[in-house]
Amino acid sequence: MKRKMLFAASVLAGAGLFAGAVLAERPLTVVSWGGAYQDAQKAVYFEPFKATGANMIDESWDGGVGVLRSKVQGGTDSGWDVVQVESEELQIGCEEGMYVELDWDKIGGKDAYLPAAVSDCGVGSIVYNFVLGYDKDKIKDAPAGWADFFDTAKYPGKRALRQGPKTNLEIALIADGVAPADVYKELATDAGVDRAFKKLDTIKKDLVWWKSGAQPPQFLASGEVVLTSVYNGRIDAANRTDKRNFGIQWNGSLFTLDSWVILKTTPNLDQAYAFLDFAGKAENQAKLPDAIAYGVTNKGATALIDPARLPDLPTAPENMANAVQISDSFWIENIDKLTERFNTWAAAN
């Protein structure tokens, strides 16, 4: 008898849970890049947003527009609402109709943000750079730019670049004397691409390839390489948390933005807008650089950031001076072709 009652109770409980799962509204699900960055976002955006009474959870992903396409394919809710995407994913997904076209009036208006952060489907969240990183304890004479990266006589030892063609062809051309502003004009021609690969040839045997953003600081720390391309935030994090003495050369650095998008299949559109509005406000954004050295996109935020912190950020005017924005339209059009070319180049001796 007792057993029977237990069984009946568990069946009821199970049915109740099931019904609850079906009926209850799913909390707003915000997806970002994980790691130290998402920890910072948690402290600055997610927890304070929840404190306003919002029902939200956060998840992480590793990027890839293919992932998002499979999420929205079929048109039914896939569990994600707001996703932080890289600029290429923003553009491809927007053209393919994977995201909600933003109503900018709901998130403070276009004028509140940096022009580069405004687009049809996404609102910029952070600005970050690929910079030239080195260890100040080992290199006294700071490299002046990418040309020094290719100078193995002046800086003997290995150097690291990100695996794949993206960012490396730009770096090679800048090192070869192309002005940062003209890099994509040059790359649009076959001769320009040849020139970039030829430049990479000169240090091919000294190159190590990194695949995840955490690797370059590790390579510098272990002495595996003397110079590396690296996300500026990683260098800052290594200096602050691991007490390293790494340096950054901002000259000729490549910058890009990550953006928030709302997936077309969201059942939580209003909360999604509420979150974007919250994460776009100057006073909220201004707290992010304290935790991690990325630039933020609300024009009003810069004035609220501790002036001592500004020189570490991509959005500081002197750091922006000779930087070039990574061209999404170039890479969307050419990534397959140049990835094939990069890999045949890597395999040839």
Binding site for other proteins (CB under 8 A): 63-67, 69, 92, 95-97, 158, 163, 207-209, 211, 222-224, 329, 332-333, 335-337, 339-347
Nearer to other proteins, 187 or 291 (CB): 187
Q: In sequence order, what E strands does 211-346 have?
A: 227-231, 246-262, 295-296, 324-325
Instruction: Give the nearer residue to other proteins in terms of CB position, either 47 or 95.
Output: 95
Identify the DSSP state of 90: H
CB of 77 to other proteins, least distance (A): 21
Asked if 68 and 85 count as a contact pair (C-beta separation under 8 A), the reply is yes
Task: Please tell me the distance from the alpha carbon of residue 75 to that of residue 91, in angstroms, as a whole number.
Answer: 19
Closest CB to other proteins among 26 and 158?
Answer: 158
In angstroms, the Cα distances linking 304 to 72, 222, 287, 290, 319 are 38, 37, 8, 11, 18
Smallest gap from residue 257 Cβ to other proteins (A): 18
Nearer to other proteins, 275 or 330 (CB): 330
Minimum CB separation from other proteins for residue 283, in Å?
36
Q: How far apart are CB 29 and other proteins at their closest, in Å?
A: 20
Q: Based on the number of CB atoms within 10 Å of its own CB, is 175 exposed (0-12), middle (13-18) or buried (19 or more)?
A: buried
Tokens 């491809």 correspond to 92
CB of 176 to other proteins, least distance (A): 19
**Of the candidates 163, 154, 194, the residue with the CA atom closest to the CA atom of residue 176:** 194
User: Which lies closer to other proteins via its Cβ, residue 63 or residue 300?
Assistant: 63
